[in-house]
Homo-oligomer: A and B are copies of this chain.
Amino acid sequence: MSVSSSIPVSGQKDGECPNERLNGQLEFLLALDRLKGVERRNPVLGGARRENSAEHSWHAALLALFLAEHAAGPVDVCRVVQMLLLHDVIEIDAGDTFCYDVAANRDKAERELAAADRIFGLLAADQGGELRALWEEFEHGDTPESRLANSLDRFQPLLMNFNAEGGTWREYDLARSQVEARMAPIREGAPGLWPIVERVLDAACERGYLRRD
């Protein structure tokens, strides 16, 4: 039995049309639940376990409420928050692709596009289209809002790894240059945070959390 089919959604009676719009909203709501089961590589809670993509999305979205002042200029915080809430929902189908895994990243775009078609397609066209446009804006990263959103998406796991004595970095024996390249969009998207990135990377090398190049 599919999870969503168990909800008495439509409530149609004899001759009444099913409420397709509401039905789609509840299908989408239940599909979202699955993001809590998508495991990322970086740790949380000082290394107690790996983070899942739902928790990560919450944390990154909340950062926008108090770190937006570090963007290069004025941004629509509301849009940044919405993008961060949504940016990983395609992982429900496509899974989390480890950012330092070159092979897995080759077909990432293709897998994620198919996921977007299915997942945003659960909603009525107007709502699905609106949310998909936010996801695409995040992916393209060519607006001040999407540049800030991409920066916070990277800044958050930087601090999670640092606070877990290196976390993923040590597990995969990463070099400073690899992490610095991954963080590079922060220079433009949230330049006020870049000095912190550099200090964290310096300290990570000193403590042996990251390999020096």
Contact = CB atoms under 8 A, between A and B. Distances in A.
Q: How often does this chain occur in the complex, in copies?
A: 2
Interface in A117-162: 123, 127, 131, 156, 159-160, 162
B55 A7 contact: no
A131 to B, nearest CB: 6
Q: Is the interface of A mostly helix, strand, loop or mixed?
A: helix
Contacts of A114: none
B159 A7 contact: yes
A203 interface: yes
A51 interface: yes
Contacts of A6: 162-163
A85 B58 contact: yes
B7 A202 contact: no
Contacts of A61: 58, 61, 85
Given A58-B85, A59-B54, A196-B9, A159 B29 contact: yes
Contacts of A163: 3, 6-7, 30, 33
Interface in A40-63: 44-46, 48, 51-52, 54-55, 57-59, 61-63
B8 A203 contact: yes
Interface stretch (A20-28, A105-113, A167-175): A20-28
